[in-house]
Structure 1
Amino acid sequence: MSQRLEPVSSHAPSAVIWVGFIAMCVGMFMAILDVQVVATSLPTIQQAINIDPDQMSWIQTVYLIAEVVAIPLTGLLTRVLTMRWLFVASIGLFVISSAGCAASSDFNEVVSWRALQGFSGGTLIPAVFSAVFILFPNERQAIATTIAGVLAVLAPTVGPIIGGWLTATYSWHWLFLINIVPGIVSALIAWRSLPRQKGDFSELRHLDGLSLVMMALALTCLELGLKEAPTNGWISPYVLSLLSVSLVSGTGFASRSLQRTRPIVDLHHFRDRNFFVGSTLSFVLGIGLFGSVYLMPVFLAFIRGHNALEIGMTMLVTGITQLIAAPIAVALEKRTDPRLLSAAGFAVFAIGLGMSAFQDPRSDYDAMFWPQVVRGAAIMFCLLPPTRLALGTLPPARVPDASGLFNLMRNLGGAIGIAMIDTIIYTRSEPLGQALWDQLRAGDLAAARFVGAPEGTITGSPGNFTPDTIAALDPLVQTAASVQAINEAWLVAAVLAGCALLFLPLARPVAPPQ
């Protein structure tokens, strides 16, 4: 496999290179932001273009499926087009498809444009992270990774407030129109600033079409299966069929890829211990990062009744803390073993997730402030050091493929994490509600305080409730049971984040950049 772009390792990168890289980061930010701003306003879009409620989620699902298929193809596309033209083409398609989404008038139109938008946006994230190790020498990679990392994790945090404000102030069309000007500007700057290289179109002659179909089928069925499992059940025929097709296709794809000399995606990267450990940490970070960004709006919307703008204001704490922690992470990453920083990051991240596992139905901004601060402070230490572990010691020719796999692991972790969270909420709410009723009937005053039962409802002695009392308590108990289920989801995410520490001893020492 040929990669014609050589790293700039012998001298400091010029200001032009930095400008081109920042333009790439802006394009990546818009692609990640788009997922969240659209998620906050799905009901508005559904009503505006008269989409059936049961089809509404496909606006997001088709984007995520196309994105997860595109991510592992970034290495191949980089070799064919070069990094410069891949970014320009991807952001150009992203702008065009964003305009198409804004102009859509029915379900089929918006879903078609969203698929193109997801595919073009999916290549932007791994392209940026591979650019870190191709464009910059070791001593500049920490700063470049931080710029990319801050924007990558800031986008989901500020997404709700931007989406809510745009929808409330203007219209749902602006959820897509905001991509156009930054996209065009970043494409023009990148075209002028990034190194000019010659593409290797001979790669297309060796393209394994069957492997491509098997990979796309495996990832698509996995995403669909994870989406449907919480509501239909993990052992329902539909979900089992999807997961079975994903397993068979994925196994076939892996077998063919390992046997070919020029595979679409080089799975041999996982034989590198540091890449394996870094990718595992990326997977675990996806569970915690996507999970926390999902759980907070669920709680604030369905338990506290806040709108998208209010949710965004609450979640802004995480983003501000990330920005404050970023320069500290850069300074430490330059002089500390990435294994130690990763261990500290995931330990603190697990604590931050666990701190949210003690909410009650009245928890709001104050109760969520410190858990967000702890998580926000840890996120950069969960992103920068694992990125160096996974990609920092690889030859430049291997970085684009490896970056695609590395970022795919984070997205798959997020998809599995959200499916796990939904499963916990759907399956645990009812038994937890029944347990609360049993405690209330037994006169448990602590349970009554947690539920928020009016004074005098619980006497402190066993007994049965009148129909009027049951009617008054039922919505409170249902809400409290949902809160307990959400708390359990937070706790599971915290435990999984802590499990990341078990993999770090497998990694080889990596010298920090000098």
Structure 2
Amino acid sequence: MVSTRASSTGEADAAAVRPAPAIARADAAAWLAVAAGTLGAFMATLDISIVNSSLPTIQGEIGASGTEGTWIATAYLVAEIVVIPLSGWLERLLGLRTLLLIAATLFTIFSMVCGISTTLPMMIVGRVGQGFTGGALIPTAMTIIATRLPRDQQPIGNALFGCTVILGPVIGPVIGGWLTENVSWHYAFFINLPVGATLITLLLVALPHQRSRLDQLRQADWLGIAGLAFGLGGLTVVLEEGEREQWFSSPTIGLLSVISAVGFVLLAIGQLTARKPVIRLALLRDRQFGSVVVMVTVVGMVIYGTSYTIPQFLSGIAGYNSLQAGEIVLLAGVPSLLLMPFTPFLIRFVDIRAAVAFGLVILAISAFLETGLTSLSTGEAFVDSQLLRGVGTIFVMMFLNQAAIRSVPPELAGDAAGLYNAARNLGGSLALAGIAVIQDQRVWLHSRRIEESLSANGVDVQAYMAGQAQMLGGQAAAYRSLGNTIQVQALTMTYIDLFWILSVGIVAVMPLILFLRPLPRGAKPVASH
């Protein structure tokens, strides 16, 4: 017993003085790879919204109507949503470096096609090409972080990626508006040439070549690939164009709905029969990852919904031009820049559940503040809410990023990244579709309610109309003025409804925070099950 105890004590003493194993650190090539992935994701997310403020000018120059011009934005989003979930399979097929080089090169070429477009079909071809190639750049940035950085340095990479995803849609309208006002709308696309050249150089220097596995073409889940393209592509177009086309009274929307339904059936069959499904929906069975996907969908609705709704309010109610409205939207990006140096520390030491809860509460408060708008509100009414929205967004996105990437083993990081980013963009598509539906219906409802409250025989109404007729030079002008006033008030009330809905939506997903798992520092990623 004595000798055993002495032996144990000696081993303990030796262990105490034995130096701890060195923690692996990322080398310069790994950080250059992260920089390349981040730059590619930024370029792709920026181009989602960079044309928003330039659309009227672009439509006029290429001879497109207002309805046709919306396809300039929709074509990009549809193509991107389809390809994002496929990025994991494409990475395994071609190798990460080859995939990114092809995507970056083609994205730059398609950007030039958009910049020199003189017709709507040419522009749509360019935007579809941008969407397909840019969509591959977003989730692969998360894959680089998960596979090239050690665990203790991943928070830094996640912070860089998260800020680009947040800033891209926010500053896109500002850059596009400034270029359109001061140079030309063409440069909203030409700006991608130097960025693309820089990205390609970084990829060549930083990422090692991986052998392509073209044999996977024979084993591919072709049912799943076709189902994903038809399902998500058809659904996105239906959501984007449904209200404008009067939903199922339009044969086109009816046909696309059937195509989308068939696509999702094919995707489900592929999940059940394929040895290696093209997208691993089984990851959603993990409570943490499934909860993250739901929450990031709602956050996507907030990011894209507010970046669309606020400029619309400022343009339609306050009389702002596109650049002025874009500057108000840009305020949400200020906290991202200020908090970026601190996010790796926060991710490392703050509990995931507490951080996400804090972010969601701040987002709900920011939307609630905007329910106090009036028809006299200007950009100043959005300053506090936009700054709060920026803080809430960066907390939620940073920590959901971390939760998503830690929910799966590194070999499934590509599939998880595809699902995560597709959910965020799908949330944006749902938000834009929902805004169109709600705006159309609620403006009509509020207009009727206001009209019902105005009695034609009321003394106050008659006195007001008499005064307006005398001031405007006739009864007809007075009625037109009253109609415009009712429309402005109804539209303002509709925007208030939209912000109420966003507030409620954020609160509704808060219980999912309970499914997030705080992981100890240095722990290996938890496998999906």
Distance 2:23 2:296 in 1: 30
Deviation at 1:86, TM superposition (A): 1.6
Matched, 1:247 2:256: no
Larger mean Cα displacement after TM superposition, 237-246 or 159-168: 237-246
Q: Per the alignment, in what secondary structure is the counterpart of residue 512 of structure 2?
A: helix
* Equivalent AA in structure 1 for residue 333 of structure 2: G
Distance 1:454 1:485 in 2: 25
Distance 2:522 2:487 in 1: 53
Q: Per the alignment, in what secondary structure is the counterpart of residue 57 of structure 2?
A: helix
Deviation at 1:474, TM superposition (A): 1.4
The answer for the alignment partner of 1:188 in structure 2 is: 201
Distance 2:502 2:124 in 1: 31
The answer for the alignment partner of 1:218 in structure 2 is: 231
Distance 2:303 2:476 in 1: 43
Deviation at 1:198, TM superposition (A): 2.7
Matched, 1:475 2:505: no
Distance 1:271 1:443 in 2: 63
The answer for the alignment partner of 1:496 in structure 2 is: 505
User: For the aligned residues, what is the CA RMSD?
Assistant: 2.5
The answer for the alignment partner of 2:330 in structure 1 is: 316
- Partner deviation per Cα, 1:484-510 (whole Å, 9 max, x = no partner): 111101110111111121212233443
Q: Percent identity between the aligned chains?
A: 30
- Partner deviation per Cα, 1:411-464 (whole Å, 9 max, x = no partner): 1111011111111111100110122233344999xx99xxxx99977xxxxxxx
1:200 to 205, 213, 227: 213
1:355 to 347, 354, 369: 369
Say if 1:109 and 1:232 are closer, same or farther in 2 by CA, change over 3 A. closer
Distance 1:443 1:289 in 2: 46
Larger mean Cα displacement after TM superposition, 361-370 or 22-31: 22-31
Say if 1:252 and 1:210 are closer, same or farther in 2 by CA, change over 3 A. closer
* Equivalent AA in structure 1 for residue 55 of structure 2: L
For residues 326-345 of structure 1, the aligned pairs below 5 Å read 326-345=340-359
Give the TM-score of the pair, scaled to structure 1: 0.91
- Partner deviation per Cα, 1:146-204 (whole Å, 9 max, x = no partner): 11111111111111111111111121211110001111111111211123333322222
Distance 1:52 1:433 in 2: 27
Deviation at 1:255, TM superposition (A): 2.7
The answer for the alignment partner of 2:143 in structure 1 is: 130
Matched, 1:275 2:289: yes
Distance 2:229 2:519 in 1: 34
The answer for the alignment partner of 1:392 in structure 2 is: 406
The answer for the alignment partner of 2:11 in structure 1 is: none
Q: Would you say the 8 A contact 2:33–2:207 is kept in 1?
A: yes
Deviation at 1:103, TM superposition (A): 1.9
Q: Would you say the 8 A contact 1:338–1:512 is kept in 2?
A: no
Q: Would you say the 8 A contact 1:99–1:177 is kept in 2?
A: yes
Deviation at 1:10, TM superposition (A): 5.1
Matched, 1:145 2:158: yes
The answer for the alignment partner of 2:383 in structure 1 is: 369
Distance 1:386 1:443 in 2: 58
- Partner deviation per Cα, 1:227-273 (whole Å, 9 max, x = no partner): 12222344535434433431332133123223311111111111111
* Equivalent AA in structure 1 for residue 210 of structure 2: Q
Q: Which has the larger radius of gyration?
A: 2
Distance 2:129 2:201 in 1: 21
The answer for the alignment partner of 1:3 in structure 2 is: none
The answer for the alignment partner of 2:185 in structure 1 is: 172
For residues 30-69 of structure 1, the aligned pairs below 5 Å read 30-69=43-82
* Equivalent AA in structure 1 for residue 132 of structure 2: F
The answer for the alignment partner of 1:381 in structure 2 is: 395
Q: Per the alignment, in what secondary structure is the counterpart of residue 435 of structure 1?
A: helix
Q: Would you say the 8 A contact 1:28–1:125 is kept in 2?
A: yes
Say if 1:180 and 1:237 are closer, same or farther in 2 by CA, change over 3 A. same
2:111 to 92, 98, 103: 98
Larger mean Cα displacement after TM superposition, 70-79 or 308-317: 308-317
Distance 1:365 1:443 in 2: 38
Distance 1:51 1:429 in 2: 27
1:121 to 126, 130, 134: 134
Distance 2:184 2:517 in 1: 52
Q: Per the alignment, in what secondary structure is the counterpart of residue 244 of structure 2?
A: helix
Q: Would you say the 8 A contact 1:221–1:243 is kept in 2?
A: yes
Say if 1:455 and 1:120 are closer, same or farther in 2 by CA, change over 3 A. farther
Q: Per the alignment, in what secondary structure is the counterpart of residue 204 of structure 1?
A: helix
Q: Would you say the 8 A contact 2:170–2:329 is kept in 1?
A: yes
1:259 to 261, 273, 290: 273
The answer for the alignment partner of 2:14 in structure 1 is: none
- Flag structure 1 segments of 5+ consecutive residues without an equivalent: 1-8, 458-464
The answer for the alignment partner of 2:83 in structure 1 is: 70
Q: Per the alignment, in what secondary structure is the counterpart of residue 335 of structure 2?
A: helix
- Flag structure 2 segments of 5+ consecutive residues without an equivalent: 1-21, 469-473, 524-529
Say if 1:223 and 1:481 are closer, same or farther in 2 by CA, change over 3 A. same
The answer for the alignment partner of 1:12 in structure 2 is: 25
* Equivalent AA in structure 2 for residue 42 of structure 1: L
Aligned residues: 495
* Equivalent AA in structure 1 for residue 196 of structure 2: G
Distance 2:178 2:476 in 1: 43
